[in-house]
Every structure is written in C-alpha cells, then in structure tokens.
C-alpha cells in the first residue's frame, strides 16, 4: 500500500512503499538531540545544528526528542526554524514530547516514536505549574498546534485536544474518547494508529534505516560546554537571580565603599548574564557597550553631581543594555523589575548595618574641633588674670593696652579709662580680656 505524507517547507521528498524516500541527498545523516527544556538556549543550539546540517548538504536531520516542554514563544521560534530547514527532518520521540515538545515534533517532516514514549499534554501552564485559563492564549496555542498538525495531514481535532481541556474528541482507531476536562496524551502505539506517528522505532539506527539511509555517515551533534552553560544561565529564574546579585553588588559597592567583594561579585553576576545571552545569540556588542557606559555614568554621578543628568542617563544605559541582551523584551523588563525591588531591599539592609561607612559620610563634617583632639585656635589667656599693664589708648570701654609686655585688645566693665593709666586684668572670657583701672592711691 502506498503511504504518502505531506512534508513541511524544505522537507519535500518523493515517497515509495513503506514511507521510504526514492531519492535523497547524497550527504550524511545528522542526529540532533532535543533533550533540554524548550527555551532560548535550545533555540540557539538547534539553529546552529540545523545550519551545520544544511551547509554539509545532509540527507536527513533526525531530531531526537525527549523534553517536558517549556516556553511557548521559544517553541514557535524553533518550530519555524524546523519548517524552514533546507534538509528533510524526522522527529524521533525517545521519551516524552510533552507540551512545546509535541509542537516541535509536529513541525518535523515525519515522526517516529520509541516504544513506551508519549506525545501530547500541551496545556498551557504558568511558572508554578498551574493551568492558564486565558481564552486568548488557549485559542492562540490551539491554532498553532492545529497548524503544525495539518502540515503533514494529521487530524486537527486531536491536536486541539492536546491543548484545550474543554475540547472532546473520539478516536475510533484506538477506541478511546477524550472527555472535557482532560488533556490528551498519546502513547507510541496510540499515536501510530491515529496518524500522529509514522513509525515505531527502537533506536535512531532504525529511524535512519526506515528512511533508506543506512549507508550514510551519521553525525551526532552535541551541545558545546558554552552552550550547556548558556542554556542554564538563560533560564528565567537564573537570569533574574543574576540580575539581583549584580544590581545589589554594584549598589552596595557604590554606597558602602571599601569592601571590594560586593562590587566584584556584582560584576561577575552581570558578566555571567551577558555571557549566557551572548552564547544564546541574543546579546550583541551594543548591549554590552550601553551597559558599561551606564555603569560609568552612575559612578560619575556619585562623585560629580550633575543635578541627576548623569544618573538618569546611566540608569537608561544599564536598563537598555540588559533588556536588549535578552530574548524576550517583556520578560526581561519583568525580571529586571523584580531584581531591582529585591536588590533595593538588600541594599537598604546593608546600608543601614554599615551606615557609618556610607558614601554620604563624605559630605558630613564629623570631626570636633576640641582641645582634646588637639585643636587650639588661640593661645590660652586664662593665665593673664591678675596681670597688670598700661592703657595705650583711652578705653571707652574698649581699647588697647600693654599687658605683660604684649599689646592686646581689652575692654572694661563699662567705665572709661584714660590713656596712660595702669590697669589690671580681672577676667578672661575666650578672646575677651576684661581690665580695671588700678587705683592710683
């Protein structure tokens, strides 16, 4: 019996009996693992792997799928990349193709499943694992799943039942009905009977043999160390944590200088953030330049007040650099907002504990000009009490007198003293010397 399967873009081939292509490219077979969570790191890795396969003129790219799913926006990006691949593709589900993983598999030209594997369960959930009930989101994702299924002539109502719990479907081939309130997931045997799998294979070698390419060289693509690190660093939770540490570390170093460690840790956190985004293919040089320029402007604002102009420009540069380096601008802004709030709390606590070392102390005069500290603005004059002298000018009541051979400004208690009369110091009050005329008798 002649079995014909409709291929997606770039996967056209003439099929013969048992779904084996009559003709194929003379190139090797590329095996690409899809074992990560569906997020930006996986998108970058798959793009690199498919590009290598295309440049090598591969006869087939086998996507070995075993993933619990992940971000829907990333899944859509990867699905488009698979559909537009310039080499035929086969999704080999060797474990589970759940949620976004099911969507990726449906975008491949063919689907093979290992015994015991499953496909489906594509209901939208939030980060806590709770079902999302937004009709717009459900409708959009249902449409995406149906479109992916229809690429290769698969039944659209089954794809809808994998997403929408309010959709019911009866599958006569397996004698099973998916009722409302449930999410559809198919085993390898069930998927084969309802047309959501084209073959049951135990290994990649069987998949390659099924495609009539057993004589071809098999090239296994593995994520590099940098891509593995990037895949972990670009996870939403990890990226947010790096932003918290980075903002808090830099702020603490600026406000409570002298430690060094918070600043170093903050810079390392930002370095890891940009490293992960850069390896994933999202952060360009302009993002790093804007971020570094923003940090420099903030430092200048701390020591060269500009009525806030440098501070505003610095914050704008930092925010733009961080957001522009991320895959999703909206999600990056959300992560940055959460990180900023948490960092403010941390910085406030640290600044209070070490308030005596804060930068604000540079603008407060804390030294006391006391005699105990060695500050003596004038020579002590308390020893002049009782000394005698001569009025060098008429004291009315202030004037000048020669006291113990020194010319000094003096004052009387209110009486006038004529020039040349003898006086005696009766009191000293700071710099004020009080004298009284000596009775000539």
pLDDT score of 375: 56
Which domains are assigned to the chain?
A: 29-223 (3.90.226.10), 233-355 (no CATH), 378-437 (2.40.50.140)
What ranges make up the beta strands (E) of 9-149? 29-34, 60-67, 89-98, 110-113, 118-120
**Nearest of 376, 374, 415, 377 to residue 394 by alpha carbon:** 415
Residue 379: per-residue pLDDT: 65
Compute the radius of gyration of the chain from its Cα atoms: 41
Model pLDDT for residues 144-186, shown as the tens digit of each residue: 999 999 999 999 999 999 999 888 899 998 989 888 888 999 9
Residues in the chain with pLDDT values less than 50: 1-23, 360, 362-365
d(CA 47, CA 34) in angstroms, rounded, equals 12
Q: Is the torsion defined by CA of 197, 201, 202, 208 positive or negative?
A: negative
Q: Whose CA is closest to 421, among 375, 388, 373, 380?
A: 388
What pLDDT, on a 0 to 100 scale, did the predictor assign at position 109? Answer: 92
Phi-psi region of 333 (alpha: psi -120 to 50; beta: other; left: phi over 0): alpha
pLDDT at 23: 44
Residue reference for tokens 């895949």:
231
Nearest to 275 by CA among 16, 41, 22: 41
Q: Which residues contact 342 (CB under 8 A, 6 or more apart)?
A: 244, 248
Helix (H, G, I), strand (E, B) or coil at 413: coil
Q: What's the confidence (pLDDT) of residue 243? A: 87
Q: Tell me, what's the pLDDT at 2?
A: 27
Helical axes 236-255 vs 329-353, angle rounded to 10°: 40
Q: Structure tokens of 79?
A: 């699905």
Distances (CA, A) of 317 to 314, 329, 339, 351, 411: 5, 15, 17, 25, 66
Nearby residues of 135 by Cβ (< 8 Å), 6 or more positions away: none
- Residue-wise pLDDT tens digits, 356-398: 655 545 444 455 555 555 555 566 777 788 888 899 998 888 8
């Amino acid at each position: 019996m002649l079995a014909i399967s409709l291929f997606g873009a770039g996967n056209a081939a003439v099929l013969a009996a048992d779904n084996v292509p009559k003709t194929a490219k003379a190139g090797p077979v590329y095996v690409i693992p899809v074992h990560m969570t569906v997020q930006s790191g996986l998108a970058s890795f798959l793009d690199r792997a498919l590009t290598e396969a295309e440049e090598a003129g591969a006869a087939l790219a086998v996507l070995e799928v075993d993933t619990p799913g992940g971000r829907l926006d990333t899944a859509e990006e990867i699905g488009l990349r698979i559909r537009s691949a310039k080499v035929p593709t086969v999704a080999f589900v060797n474990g589970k193709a759940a949620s976004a993983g099911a969507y990726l598999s449906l975008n491949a030209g063919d689907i093979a499943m290992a015994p015991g594997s499953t496909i489906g369960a594509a209901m939208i959930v939030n980060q806590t694992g709770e079902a999302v009930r937004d009709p717009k989101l459900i409708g959009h994702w249902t449409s995406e799943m149906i479109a992916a299924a229809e690429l290769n002539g698969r039944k659209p109502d089954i794809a809808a039942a994998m997403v929408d719990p309010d959709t019911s479907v009866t599958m006569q081939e397996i004698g099973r009905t998916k009722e409302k309130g449930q999410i559809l997931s198919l085993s390898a045997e069930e998927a084969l009977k309802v047309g959501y799998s084209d073959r049951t294979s135990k290994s990649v070698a069987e998949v390659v043999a099924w495609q009539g390419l057993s004589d071809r060289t098999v090239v296994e693509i593995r994520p590099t160390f940098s891509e593995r690190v990037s895949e972990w660093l670009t996870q939403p939770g990890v990226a947010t944590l790096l932003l918290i540490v980075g903002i808090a570390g830099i702020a603490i170093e600026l406000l409570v200088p002298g430690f060094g460690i918070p600043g170093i840790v903050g810079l390392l956190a930002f370095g890891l953030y940009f490293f992960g985004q850069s390896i994933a293919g999202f952060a360009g040089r302009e993002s790093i330049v804007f971020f570094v320029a923003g940090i420099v402007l903030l430092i200048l604002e701390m020591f060269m007040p500009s009525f806030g102009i440098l501070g505003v420009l610095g914050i704008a540069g930092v925010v733009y650099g961080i957001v522009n380096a991320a895959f999703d601008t909206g999600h990056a802004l959300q992560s940055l907002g959460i990180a900023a709030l948490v960092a403010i709390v941390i910085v406030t606590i640290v600044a209070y504990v070490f308030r005596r070392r804060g930068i604000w102390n540079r603008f407060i005069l804390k030294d006391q000009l006391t005699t105990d500290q060695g500050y003596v603005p004038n020579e002590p004059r308390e020893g002049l009490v009782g000394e005698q002298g001569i009025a060098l000018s008429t004291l009315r009541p202030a004037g000048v007198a020669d006291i113990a051979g020194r010319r000094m400004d003096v004052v009387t208690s209110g009486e006038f003293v004529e020039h040349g009369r003898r006086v005696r110091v009766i009191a000293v009050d700071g710099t004020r010397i009080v004298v009284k005329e000596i009775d000539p008798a």
